[in-house]
Amino acid sequence: MAQSLFDSVMKTVREHDMASSENVALLMVSGGSDSTALAYLAAQMVAAGELGAVSMLHVNHKLRGEASDGDAAFVADLASRLEIPLFLCEVDIAEMVRSTGGNMEALARAERYRAAREALESTCLHLGFSLEAGRVFVAHTADDRVENFYMRSIVGTGPGGFRSMKHDVMIDGCRVCRPLLEVGRDELRSYVLHRHDAVQDEHGAAWREDATNADTDRFRAFVRHEIVPRAKERNPRLLETLTRTMNLIAEEDDMLIRDARVLLLEKVVPLGTSPAEGFLVSPALADSSLPLVRRVIDRVLSLMLGRDARVETSSIQACVDGLGKSGYVANIQGDIAVSYNRQGLRLEPMAAFRARRKKG
What's the structural domain count of the chain?
A: 2
Q: Give the per-residue pLDDT at 177.
A: 98
Percent of the chain with pLDDT over 90: 84
Burial of 29 (0-12, 13-18, 19+ CB in 10 A): buried
Q: Binning pLDDT at 50, 70 and 90, where does residue 1 land? A: low
What pLDDT, in 10s, does the model give residues 78-131? 999 999 999 999 999 989 989 988 888 888 999 999 999 999 999 999 999 999
Half-sphere exposure of residue 290: CA atoms within 13 angstroms, side-chain side: 4
Helices (H), the chain: 2-15, 33-47, 66-82, 93-100, 104-127, 142-155, 185-193, 219-222, 228-234, 238-267, 290-305, 313-322, 350-359
What pLDDT, in 10s, does the model give residues 11-30? 999 999 999 999 999 999 99
Which residue, of 223, 241, 259, is where some domain finishes? 241
Q: Is the pTM of this model over 0.85?
A: yes
The answer on whether 31 is annotated among ligand-binding residues is yes
- In this structure, the strands spanning 279-281 and 344-349 are antiparallel
Measured N-to-C along each axis, helices 290-305 and 313-322 cross at an angle, to the nearest 10 degrees, of 120
- The answer to whether position 141 is within a domain reads yes
Task: Let me know whether 17 and 130 are in one domain.
Answer: yes
- In this structure, the strands spanning 279-281 and 268-270 are antiparallel
CATH number of the domain that residue 209 is part of:
3.40.50.620
The answer on whether 158 is annotated among ligand-binding residues is no
Map residue 139 onto helix, strand or coil: coil
The answer on whether 210 is annotated among ligand-binding residues is no
In the DSSP assignment, the letter for residue 83 is T
- The answer to whether position 264 is within a domain reads no
Check pLDDT > 70 for residue 208. Answer: yes
Nearest to 144 by CA among 111, 108, 194, 178: 178
Q: What are 203-206's contacts with CB under 8 Å, separation 24+?
A: 206/33, 206/36
Which residue, of 241, 257, 282, is where some domain finishes? 241
Which residue, of 241, 259, 280, is where some domain finishes? 241
Task: Let me know whether 106 and 61 are in one domain.
Answer: yes
Residue-range definition of the domain harbouring residue 56: 2-241
- The answer to whether position 93 is within a domain reads yes
Q: Give the per-residue pLDDT at 310.
A: 87
Task: Let me know whether 276 and 141 are in one domain.
Answer: no
Residue 9 CA, chain-centre distance (Å), reads 19
What pLDDT, in 10s, does the model give residues 288-343? 999 999 999 999 999 999 877 889 999 999 999 999 999 999 999 989 999 999 99
Q: Which residue type occupies 186?
A: D
Check pLDDT > 90 for residue 214. Answer: no
Q: Binning pLDDT at 50, 70 and 90, where does residue 187 land? A: very high
The answer to whether residues 101 and 91 touch, using CB atoms and an 8 Å cutoff, is no
DSSP line for 32-73: SHHHHHHHHHHHHHHHTTSSSEEEEEEEE---STHHHHHHHH
Task: Let me know whether 312 and 163 are in one domain.
Answer: no
What pLDDT, in 10s, does the model give residues 137-177? 999 999 999 999 999 999 988 888 999 999 999 998 899 99
> Measured at the alpha carbon of residue 213, what is the angle toward residues 207 and 216, in degrees to the nearest 5?
155
- The answer to whether position 158 is within a domain reads yes
What does pLDDT average to over the chain?
94
Cα–Cα distances (Å) from 200 to 95, 171, 192, 195, 197, in that order, read 31, 32, 11, 11, 9
Q: What are phi and psi for residue 184, nearest 5 degrees?
A: -95, 160
Q: Binning pLDDT at 50, 70 and 90, where does residue 358 land? A: confident
Q: Which residue type occupies 244?
A: R
The answer on whether 315 is annotated among ligand-binding residues is no
Check pLDDT > 80 for residue 215. Answer: no
Q: Binning pLDDT at 50, 70 and 90, where does residue 252 land? A: very high
What is the helix (H) or strand (E) element at residue 279, kind and residue range? strand 279-281
- The answer to whether position 254 is within a domain reads no
The answer on whether 21 is annotated among ligand-binding residues is no
The answer on whether 4 is annotated among ligand-binding residues is no
Cα–Cα distances (Å) from 28 to 31, 89, 109, 116, 133, in that order, read 9, 11, 12, 8, 17
Map residue 281 onto helix, strand or coil: strand
